Chains A and B, each alone.
Chain A
C-alpha cells in the first residue's frame, strides 16, 4: 500500500497549531503490518488527515485483506 493519498482539497488548517496541512510520509499499521503512504498531516503536531474516500475505499479493502491473512 505504498502510495500517495492526497485529497484534491488540501486547504485544511490544523487547530490549535494554525498551520496548513502538508503532504507527509505517514505509517499506517494494522494487525502487525505497516505501510508507508503519503497523506496530509500537520507539520507541527503530526496530526494526520484520513479522508472519507480513503477510509471507505482502499483502506477498508486493505483492512479486510489483513484480517483474512
Chain B
C-alpha cells in the first residue's frame, strides 16, 4: 500500500468528521467531548476542552449564543443539547486548567483599534501567535460587554480577561477618539492593523471599512483588517464578532508571514459535516429547563442535560462487528495500522493478527455510508503479505492443509452420472458438506438425480481457503485445475449447496454456469417440518450476503416445508459470519468464540442455516442448530443439539464418502489403504479436546507411529513404561507419548511445534 492508496482508504471512513455541533460552532469547539465530560460531572476536563479553542473563555463561555445548537442532531428529538447553558455551568464551577501558551516573539508589531469583543479576540489570537500587540481604545476595553448585566458578566470577570490579555503582552493605549489620524499614526509603527467595528470609531474611520472580503476580513487597503460587524440586532452578535476577530487575526498572521491569505485556509463549516450518525434507536427526550431563577443549571441538571447528548459518531460498522470492536478503533485508524504494518522493516508486525482475523464477510461494506470494505482492505493486505513472504506460516496452516487434502487424489472424486457418458449438470456439494454430512450429501445427490438422471458428482474444493489466506497464485491454479476437469466433463451446469463455492465460481470462473442447489430443488415428497417445531432463526451465510436469489429461494423452500421463521434482524444482506469465513477461526480462535456468542445472543430461537460451516460453528455455543437438509431429508436428519464434528471425524468421513460412492455407485475397485492407516490406535478420551485445539489429526498420529515403526527410533522411559516419539510431517513436528500394548497404541499425550532442533556436536 502506498501513501496515495492509504489516503484513499482513509477518506472513505468519515468517523473523524466533526459532529454537527462542532461543525456549527464558528470556533470549532469540540462540544461533543465537552458534553461527554459533563456527563461524567468532570468539570475540569470539560473546561480543558473549552480552553483548547475558546478565546476570552470567561466571557465566551458565559454569553456565546451557541449557534451550534441549531445544528444539533437532538434538535427534533426533544430539543438540541443546551451546549450554551452547559458551558455556563462549567465555567462557573471549574477554574482555569492550563496556562495560555504564546509562541515565541516574532519581532513584529501589530495594532488593534477599538475595544469591542472582536478587537479583544483579535488581540488574544495575535498575542498567542507571538506578535507584539498594541490595542488602542477610546473607552475602557470591553466595549458593549461592559453594558451587560452583572449577573451575566460580573465586572470582575471582564477585568480578569483583560488582565489575561495584559499578561500575554497586549499593550493597552487610549485615544480620545479613533480617527483616520490615529490609524495613520499606528500604521507607522505596525505592519498590520485590525479595526474593530464593534469599537467606538468616529464616522470617518467607519467609512474606511467598506468592501471587506468576507472570508479573510481583509480591507482593500493592504495590511488593514476588520471585524465585529454584527450589530445589536444580530441573533449571534457576540459569537459572530469573535469569529470575525479570529478570522482577521489568522489573515494578519498570514499577511505578516508573507503567505497567501486564502491558500489551504480551513473554510468555515456553517454546520456542514460528512459525519453520519444513525438516529434509528434514539428516543426523544425533552431538554432540561433550569429550575433556579438565574437560569443556571444545578450540577445535577447539567448532568441530566448532558446525558441527552447522542454522542454523535458514525461507527455503523463497528457497532455490529465483534471483530472491529475487538481491536478498539474504527476503519480509518485501521487502514493506517495496515499501512504502518507494511512500512515496518525491522521489528514486530503488530497488525498481522488483526489483518488475519477479519472474516472477510463484507457486512461493514453494507453498513457503511461510504461502502468502506474492511474485507477488501484485509484481503489485499494478506495478498501482499504472501507475495512479500511476510505471511506467518502458521496463520492459515490448518485450513490450507484441509483444503489441499480435499483436492488430493485421496479425497477428490469427479464422475459423470453412473452409466452416463455426458452430464448436463454436476453436483458439487462443497468440501465441508461432504465431510460433515456424507449421508445427506448422498441423499441430496439421489434427489437431484431423480430430477436430472445425468447429474454427475464432484467431491472437491473450490479453493476458497486459498483465496481467504491471500494466496492468489494457489487460488488461481486451483481454478485452472477446476476448469480443465470441468471442460472434460463437457462443461456442465455446476450445482452447489455451498454459498462460498458459489461465490468463488461466480467471481473467479464466470464461464462456469454455477447455481445454488437451493434455488433449483423442490422439497422431496416426504419432507416436512417436524410437528410442533418452533419458529427457527434463519441465518444466511455471509457469502450469500449479496445473493438475493438464493436467499429468496431458501425462504420459499422453508415455507413449502411449513417451517416458521423467527425474527433475526441481522440477516439477508446484513447477515453475520460464523467465524469460519476468511479463516478467522484459524487465525484467531478466541475471537471466533466471541463472534459466535454474540450471534446466538441476538435471538432466543434455535437456528436454521443452509451452510454447513455455519451449522457446525454456531453449534459450538450449545445452541441447537439445524441445517436445511435436516428438514429436507428427515430420514437422514441429525439432531439440532448434536455437537459439531471434530477435525479427524471430518477427515475420516471424507475418505469414507469417496469409497462409498466408488463402490456403491460406480462399482470401482478401491485402491488399498495407505500402510499407516493400519496402525491400531486408541486415544484417551480426555485427550480428544486437546487434539482438536492443537489441530492434531488421527491421520497425523498414525503416520508418526508408522514412521516410528519403520525407523525403530523412540525414547523409552526408564521406569514408567511409556514411550515418546516424534516425526516431522510437512513443516510441523509432532510428538506422541504412548503405551504400546501388543500392537495397539494407547495414546496419552500429543503436541507439536515448528522450530527445528539440532544437537550441536562438539
Chain A neighbourhood of B761, CB < 8 A: 46
| Contact (Cβ within 8 A) B756 A28 | yes
Question: Beta-carbon contacts of A54-69 to B below 8 Å, as 1s and 0s?
Answer: 0110011011110111
| Cα–Cα distance between A36 and B720 once the two chains are bound (Å) | 30
- The answer to whether the Cβ of A14 comes within 8 Å of any Cβ in the partner chain is yes
Instruction: Evaluate whether A47 and B718 lie within 8 angstroms (CB atoms) in the complex, with A52-B749, A68-B349, A68-B392 already known.
Output: no
| Contact (Cβ within 8 A) B719 A26 | no
Interface locus among B258-266, B296-304, B619-627, B709-717? B709-717
| Cα–Cα distance between A24 and B757 once the two chains are bound (Å) | 12
B-contacting residues, A15-32, CB 8 Å: 15-16, 20-21, 24-31
Question: Beta-carbon contacts of B719-762 to A below 8 Å, as 1s and 0s?
Answer: 11000101000000101010000000000010111111111110
- The answer to whether the Cβ of B604 comes within 8 Å of any Cβ in the partner chain is no
Chain A neighbourhood of B712, CB < 8 A: 15-16
| Cα–Cα distance between A47 and B723 once the two chains are bound (Å) | 14
| Contact (Cβ within 8 A) B735 A14 | no
| Contact (Cβ within 8 A) B724 A26 | no
- The answer to whether the Cβ of B347 comes within 8 Å of any Cβ in the partner chain is yes
Chain B neighbourhood of A41, CB < 8 A: 759
| Cα–Cα distance between A26 and B733 once the two chains are bound (Å) | 16
| Contact (Cβ within 8 A) B716 A15 | yes
Chain A neighbourhood of B757, CB < 8 A: 26-28, 39, 48, 50
Instruction: Evaluate whether A26 and B758 lie within 8 angstroms (CB atoms) in the complex, with A12-B717, A68-B348 already known.
Output: yes
Quick one: which of A25, A59, A64, A69 contacts B759, CB cutoff 8 A? A25
- The answer to whether the Cβ of B11 comes within 8 Å of any Cβ in the partner chain is no
| Contact (Cβ within 8 A) A50 B733 | yes
Chain B neighbourhood of A15, CB < 8 A: 712-716
| Cα–Cα distance between A32 and B761 once the two chains are bound (Å) | 20
| Contact (Cβ within 8 A) A26 B760 | yes
| Contact (Cβ within 8 A) B713 A16 | yes
- The answer to whether the Cβ of B395 comes within 8 Å of any Cβ in the partner chain is yes
Chain A neighbourhood of B717, CB < 8 A: 9, 11-13
Residue of B nearest to A14 (CB): B715
| Contact (Cβ within 8 A) A69 B347 | yes
Residue of B nearest to A36 (CB): B760
- The answer to whether the Cβ of B376 comes within 8 Å of any Cβ in the partner chain is no
| Contact (Cβ within 8 A) A12 B724 | yes
| Contact (Cβ within 8 A) B715 A49 | yes
Chain B neighbourhood of A59, CB < 8 A: 753, 755
Residue of A nearest to B761 (CB): A46
| Cα–Cα distance between A60 and B394 once the two chains are bound (Å) | 11
Secondary structure at the B interface, as helix, strand, loop or mixed, is mixed
In the complex, what's the smallest C-beta–C-beta distance from A44 to chain B, in angstroms? Answer: 10
| Contact (Cβ within 8 A) B392 A67 | yes
Quick one: which of A13, A29, A42, A55 contacts B718, CB cutoff 8 A? A13
Chain B neighbourhood of A68, CB < 8 A: 348-350, 352-353, 392
| Contact (Cβ within 8 A) A63 B755 | yes
| Contact (Cβ within 8 A) B760 A63 | no
- The answer to whether the Cβ of B393 comes within 8 Å of any Cβ in the partner chain is yes
Number of residue pairs A-B, CB distance < 8 angstroms: 103
| Cα–Cα distance between A42 and B756 once the two chains are bound (Å) | 16
| Contact (Cβ within 8 A) A30 B348 | no
Question: Beta-carbon contacts of B348-390 to A below 8 Å, as 1s and 0s?
Answer: 1110110000000000000000000000000000000000000
In the complex, what's the smallest C-beta–C-beta distance from A37 to chain B, in angstroms? Answer: 9
Instruction: Evaluate whether A62 and B755 lie within 8 angstroms (CB atoms) in the complex, with A13-B716, A46-B761 already known.
Output: yes
| Contact (Cβ within 8 A) B348 A50 | no
| Contact (Cβ within 8 A) B392 A55 | no
| Contact (Cβ within 8 A) B753 A47 | no
| Contact (Cβ within 8 A) B755 A67 | no
| Cα–Cα distance between A64 and B754 once the two chains are bound (Å) | 10
In the complex, what's the smallest C-beta–C-beta distance from A30 to chain B, in angstroms? Answer: 4
Chain A neighbourhood of B348, CB < 8 A: 65, 68-69
Count, chain A residues at interface, CB 8 A: 39
Chain B neighbourhood of A56, CB < 8 A: 694, 751
Residue of A nearest to B392 (CB): A67
| Cα–Cα distance between A51 and B393 once the two chains are bound (Å) | 22
| Contact (Cβ within 8 A) B760 A24 | yes
Quick one: which of A14, A55, A69 contacts B751, CB cutoff 8 A? A55
Quick one: which of B353, B749, B753, B759 contacts A63, CB cutoff 8 A? B753
| Contact (Cβ within 8 A) A27 B352 | no
| Cα–Cα distance between A25 and B762 once the two chains are bound (Å) | 9
Most buried by A among B694, B715, B737, B749: B715
| Contact (Cβ within 8 A) B395 A67 | yes
Chain B neighbourhood of A67, CB < 8 A: 352, 392-395
In the complex, what's the smallest C-beta–C-beta distance from B714 to chain A, in angstroms? Answer: 5
Instruction: Evaluate whether A26 and B759 lie within 8 angstroms (CB atoms) in the complex, with A12-B724, A52-B735, A69-B347 already known.
Output: yes
Chain B neighbourhood of A27, CB < 8 A: 757-760
Residue of B nearest to A60 (CB): B753
Chain B neighbourhood of A50, CB < 8 A: 726, 733, 735, 753, 757
| Cα–Cα distance between A27 and B712 once the two chains are bound (Å) | 24
Residue of B nearest to A45 (CB): B713
Instruction: Evaluate whether A24 and B759 lie within 8 angstroms (CB atoms) in the complex, with A64-B392, A68-B348 already known.
Output: yes
Residue of A nearest to B351 (CB): A68
Quick one: which of A20, A28, A46 contacts B755, CB cutoff 8 A? A28
Residue of B nearest to A30 (CB): B755
In the complex, what's the smallest C-beta–C-beta distance from A24 to chain B, in angstroms? Answer: 5
A-contacting residues, B248-291, CB 8 Å: none
| Cα–Cα distance between A29 and B335 once the two chains are bound (Å) | 33
Chain A neighbourhood of B392, CB < 8 A: 64, 67-68
Instruction: Evaluate whether A11 and B718 lie within 8 angstroms (CB atoms) in the complex, with A55-B735, A55-B751 already known.
Output: yes
| Contact (Cβ within 8 A) A12 B350 | no
In the complex, what's the smallest C-beta–C-beta distance from B138 to chain A, in angstroms? Answer: 70
Residue of A nearest to B341 (CB): A68
| Cα–Cα distance between A66 and B756 once the two chains are bound (Å) | 13
| Cα–Cα distance between A14 and B713 once the two chains are bound (Å) | 8
| Contact (Cβ within 8 A) A13 B715 | yes
Residue of B nearest to A39 (CB): B757
| Contact (Cβ within 8 A) A30 B716 | no
Residue of A nearest to B694 (CB): A56
| Contact (Cβ within 8 A) B715 A69 | no
| Cα–Cα distance between A39 and B272 once the two chains are bound (Å) | 67
| Cα–Cα distance between A23 and B431 once the two chains are bound (Å) | 47
Residue of A nearest to B723 (CB): A15
Residue of B nearest to A12 (CB): B715
| Contact (Cβ within 8 A) B760 A25 | yes
Most buried by A among B694, B716, B753: B753
| Contact (Cβ within 8 A) B724 A47 | no
Instruction: Evaluate whether A30 and B758 lie within 8 angstroms (CB atoms) in the complex, with A13-B715, A63-B394, A68-B348 already known.
Output: no
A-B contact pairs, 25 of them (CB 8 A): A11-B717, A11-B718, A11-B719, A12-B716, A13-B716, A13-B718, A14-B713, A16-B712, A26-B759, A27-B759, A30-B754, A30-B756, A31-B393, A41-B759, A45-B713, A46-B758, A48-B759, A50-B726, A50-B733, A52-B749, A55-B751, A59-B753, A63-B753, A67-B395, A68-B349
B residues near A, CB below 8 A?
347-350, 352-353, 392-395, 694, 712-720, 724, 726, 733, 735, 737, 749, 751-761
Q: Give the top 9 A-B pairs by smallest Cβ distance, nearest first.
A: A67-B392, A46-B759, A11-B718, A55-B753, A48-B757, A12-B715, A25-B760, A30-B755, A41-B759
Other than A25-B760, A63-B753, give 12 A-B pairs with Cβ distance below 8 A.
A11-B718, A13-B716, A13-B717, A15-B715, A30-B754, A30-B756, A46-B761, A50-B753, A62-B755, A67-B392, A68-B353, A69-B349
